[in-house]
Amino acid sequence: MATLKEQIETRVAEYDKWAIRRQYAADGPNMRRLWVLACMDERVPVDEALGIRADTPVGGGDAHLFRNAGGIVTDDAIRSAMLTINFFGTKEIIVLQHTGCGMLSANAADLEKALRGKGIDVDNIPIDSSLAELSLAQGAFAKWIGMMDDVDQTCMKCVELLKSHPLIPGDITISGWIWETEFRRLRAPTMDTEARARTQYSAASMGVSGSQPPRWI
């Protein structure tokens, strides 16, 4: 077995390879040819959950990591996935969502109401201020927020959306996973009530009444 000194020397030497690799796009993918879409919640330790080292520069990083509220498929997630898959050699996608997610903790209609209460005109929001062509249809704002009724259902839907998207080639391996925040444990998304019983997997389990504007069903 190599000494720690030798291991460190190897990792340091690999830094040069890593630095060069980044300049050559598809000829130099990340170590696992992997793109991860994960919730931004600080209670989701992506590396621990997936058994990878997503973004270490010394000795290579395993993945291109994209985080947003919920770890959901959005236009910018698609933009990033499209780039890494078509131009940076990525061959696999992991969607990582989690129980107790903030995106289960309120109804989008209430959030919209709260923003209106602050005087924000949610019917006329520049979704991307540098790209006026990207706009929301009237009444779509609450849907755009992306609040969830059920994290397992949403995770499965996000996998489906990626699999069927024209910018994602059919030979990409795509899977979705749920991090149980309560038990620091990873599981496959499921609709089995018993398997999910002790976790906060739905908006209802977090005390939210009513359903979200339909997006993930």
Q: Which stretch binds Zn ion (CB under 5 A): 95-103, 109-117, 124-132, 201-209?
A: 95-103
Nearest CA to 91 out of 66, 68, 63 is that of 63
Rounded to 5 degrees, φ, ψ at 170 are: -70, -15
Only one residue has tokens 């696992």, namely 32
Beta strands in the chain (DSSP E): 34-39, 63-68, 92-98, 173-180, 185-187
Binding residue for Zn ion, selected from 41, 112, 150, 180, defined by CB under 5 A? 41
Nearer to Zn ion, 83 or 106 (CB): 106
Q: Which stretch binds Zn ion (CB under 5 A): 4-12, 41-49, 109-117, 174-182?
A: 41-49
Beta strands in 121-214 (DSSP E): 173-180, 185-187
Nearer to Zn ion, 36 or 101 (CB): 101
Nearer to Zn ion, 39 or 85 (CB): 39
Are the CB atoms for 191 and 174 separated by under 8 Å? Answer: no
Shortest CB 16 distance to Zn ion, Å: 37
Q: Which stretch binds Zn ion (CB under 5 A): 21-29, 98-106, 115-123, 185-193?
A: 98-106
Cα–Cα distance, 183 to 180 (Å, whole number): 6
User: Reduced to 3 states, what is the DSSP secondary structure of residue 64?
Assistant: strand
Question: Where does 52-197 have alpha helices with state H?
Answer: 75-87, 108-117, 141-145, 151-163, 193-196
Q: Write each residue from 101 to 140 as x if it is in contact with Zn ion (CB under 5 A), else as -, in one continuous string.
A: x---------------------------------------
Q: Which stretch binds Zn ion (CB under 5 A): 17-25, 32-40, 85-93, 158-166?
A: 32-40
Q: Is 39 in the site for Zn ion (CB under 5 A)?
A: yes
Interface contacts to Zn ion, rule CB under 5 A: 39, 41, 101
